[in-house]
A and B are shown apart, each in its own frame.
Chain A
């Protein structure tokens, strides 16, 4: 009995098709770095709705974009914003204030506790985080209880299980061995909690490259690998390129106009960068190589 080791490489269109209406997705990275944008853009293009969007802890404007594009019903992350560029995501802020999306209120510690409970198939994990705060009031899923050993109060955090984890990394081989440049943020926790994991990478490398340094393999046995050079644009990808501030400001201008009632600039943004390009390669062509290649480390 013999067999072939199967390649797990898919393109961004096939990867996004695994995300369907009503699913819970978790998006890796951290604020201005390492978001799997090639797949996020395709999810918007294919018109997926009613997603529970679990952003990274903390999330950047990719979560704001999914809210603005009408894909999200519920958002779970302790932060949505662009730091100095935008202290809070414009679409996210407006949608919450208008009651258009639900928020599962948490902080980073509670967020990872919920992911860990999901990974371990536990009904809850206890934490001290949130005692004395409003979090158990505004998030009824967080329950106060008395610890059976000492009788002291604790907070019970139920599991948050993503159907799909979407991660952006430096390299992977065709068999789902993934290596980051840098820490990998909280992406290991996303992979451990999710039912399936899709990873976009700057480069697909031969299996021999992975075997040169197995210690660097941070996540293994992922379900799908997407070849997506510059796939985190307009965010940073550690070791490859910096964030694109001009592009993010273009997005923010459109988003701020939209929440003020003028949706035309955002419709144009969507047409130009997401609905128009047939795939990730055409997206990069729209952004333009002079811009893309200017995002090098200085």
Chain B
């Protein structure tokens, strides 16, 4: 069966999610959205799905229509409960167990930056959109994945100009507990070329797998730091027929992941 890289990544994200987890789906990240919904329909019948300030279970919905914007009220047709936005921050129980974080810069220890690029904060060369909820969500969430739509040495940098979400700081397995951060930290960094994880001792990024057709050399050429490379780097596991059927028939009927 043929599949696109986006479908491959959605299946990778889905396999990391476990039944019973509470996961929020954003609107502007179609691939993580598909991964979460695939996990729910494939092996997570007791997952809680957060969607447009509501929580629900979508097992009995034949087709999950996508929404373009985060707060589209049409998603409320499925709601079992509402979430007041400020209330989200009152307890990690109300936050997503797994969270997806982008960045205009991400460094080798998984710290991420949404403020901007430049050495002088008062005169940024490029102003980013802002931290959104990433600082607090990554403080508490059980684990999170850094997620990038493009694999670029200007984004994957040795050191971020600013940090809005603390990953593993300057490295070390105790980097987060030393600061008293309760959350589990970043687990994967997922790009259109590959998946990085974090080496257990140093918490530096390690090339975990390359997507089919991508070489290790290509990843290195397009990464602004030197990740840890195992002697043999496997391919990212392909989606199976069951996963592809759910993706195409129920989660992504409009084919956003095929475009």
- Chain A residues with CB under 8 Å of chain B are 30-34, 57-58, 77-81, 83-84, 87-88, 92-93, 96-97, 99, 105-110, 112-113, 115, 127-135, 137-138, 152-153, 181-186, 188-189, 236, 238-239, 242-243, 297
B163 touches A134 (CB 8 A): yes
A297-B74 contact given A81-B129, A97-B124, A108-B132, CB 8 Å threshold: yes
Please give, as numbers and ranges, the residues of chain B lying within 8 Å of A137 by CB-CB distance: 121
* Residue B127 interfacial (CB < 8 Å): yes
From the candidates B72, B73, B182, name the one contacting A128 in the complex (CB within 8 A). Answer: B182
Please give, as numbers and ranges, the residues of chain A lying within 8 Å of B127 by CB-CB distance: 88, 92-93, 96-97
A105 touches B115 (CB 8 A): yes
26 contacting pairs across A/B (C-beta < 8 A)? A31-B70, A32-B71, A78-B132, A78-B133, A79-B130, A81-B129, A84-B69, A87-B129, A96-B116, A97-B123, A107-B130, A109-B133, A110-B136, A112-B86, A128-B139, A129-B139, A130-B135, A132-B169, A133-B163, A134-B115, A138-B162, A152-B180, A183-B84, A185-B85, A236-B72, A238-B76
Please give, as numbers and ranges, the residues of chain B lying within 8 Å of A31 by CB-CB distance: 69-71
Cα distance, A112 to B137, chains bound together (Å): 13
* Residue B53 interfacial (CB < 8 Å): yes
Beta-carbon nearest neighbor of B69 in chain A: A32
B96-139: CB near A (< 8 Å → 1, else 0) gives 00000000000000000101100001111111111111111101
A79-B132 contact given A131-B166, A185-B84, A185-B85, CB 8 Å threshold: yes
* Residue B205 interfacial (CB < 8 Å): no
Cα distance, A93 to B134, chains bound together (Å): 20
B67-82: CB near A (< 8 Å → 1, else 0) gives 0111111101000001
From the candidates B85, B126, B133, name the one contacting A183 in the complex (CB within 8 A). Answer: B85
A107-B132 contact given A96-B127, A99-B123, A132-B163, CB 8 Å threshold: yes
A109 touches B139 (CB 8 A): yes
Cα distance, A131 to B177, chains bound together (Å): 11
* Residue B164 interfacial (CB < 8 Å): yes
Please give, as numbers and ranges, the residues of chain B lying within 8 Å of A106 by CB-CB distance: 131
Closest chain A CB from B188 CB (angstroms): 20
* Residue B8 interfacial (CB < 8 Å): no
Please give, as numbers and ranges, the residues of chain A lying within 8 Å of B140 by CB-CB distance: 128
A131-B53 contact given A33-B73, A107-B134, A236-B73, CB 8 Å threshold: no
B180 touches A83 (CB 8 A): no
Closest chain B CB from A186 CB (angstroms): 4
A109 touches B136 (CB 8 A): yes
- Which 8 residue pairs across A and B have the least CB separation, nearest first? A109-B136, A107-B135, A132-B166, A238-B73, A107-B131, A189-B86, A108-B133, A186-B85
Closest chain B CB from A278 CB (angstroms): 31
Please give, as numbers and ranges, the residues of chain A lying within 8 Å of B128 by CB-CB distance: 88
Cα distance, A78 to B86, chains bound together (Å): 13
Closest chain A CB from B103 CB (angstroms): 12
Please give, as numbers and ranges, the residues of chain A lying within 8 Å of B69 by CB-CB distance: 31-33, 83-84, 236, 243
Cα distance, A84 to B33, chains bound together (Å): 15
B153-192: CB near A (< 8 Å → 1, else 0) gives 0000000001111100100000100011110000000000
Beta-carbon nearest neighbor of A239 in chain B: B73
A84 touches B68 (CB 8 A): yes
A128-B115 contact given A79-B132, A186-B86, CB 8 Å threshold: no
Cα distance, A50 to B177, chains bound together (Å): 43
Beta-carbon nearest neighbor of B124 in chain A: A97
Beta-carbon nearest neighbor of B89 in chain A: A109
Please give, as numbers and ranges, the residues of chain A lying within 8 Å of B132 by CB-CB distance: 58, 78-79, 107-108
List B residues 21-64 near A (Cβ within 8 Å).
Answer: 27-28, 53-54
Additional A-B contact list (9), CB under 8 Å, known A84-B69, A132-B166, A183-B83: A31-B71, A58-B130, A105-B130, A131-B139, A131-B179, A133-B135, A182-B76, A236-B69, A243-B69
From the candidates A115, A135, A184, A239, name the one contacting B164 in the complex (CB within 8 A). Answer: A135
From the candidates A97, A110, A115, A133, name the one contacting B165 in the complex (CB within 8 A). Answer: A133
A97 touches B162 (CB 8 A): no
Cα distance, A91 to B134, chains bound together (Å): 23
Please give, as numbers and ranges, the residues of chain A lying within 8 Å of B122 by CB-CB distance: 99
B71 touches A128 (CB 8 A): no
B169 touches A183 (CB 8 A): no
Beta-carbon nearest neighbor of B164 in chain A: A133
Closest chain A CB from B195 CB (angstroms): 24
Please give, as numbers and ranges, the residues of chain B lying within 8 Å of A185 by CB-CB distance: 53, 71, 84-85
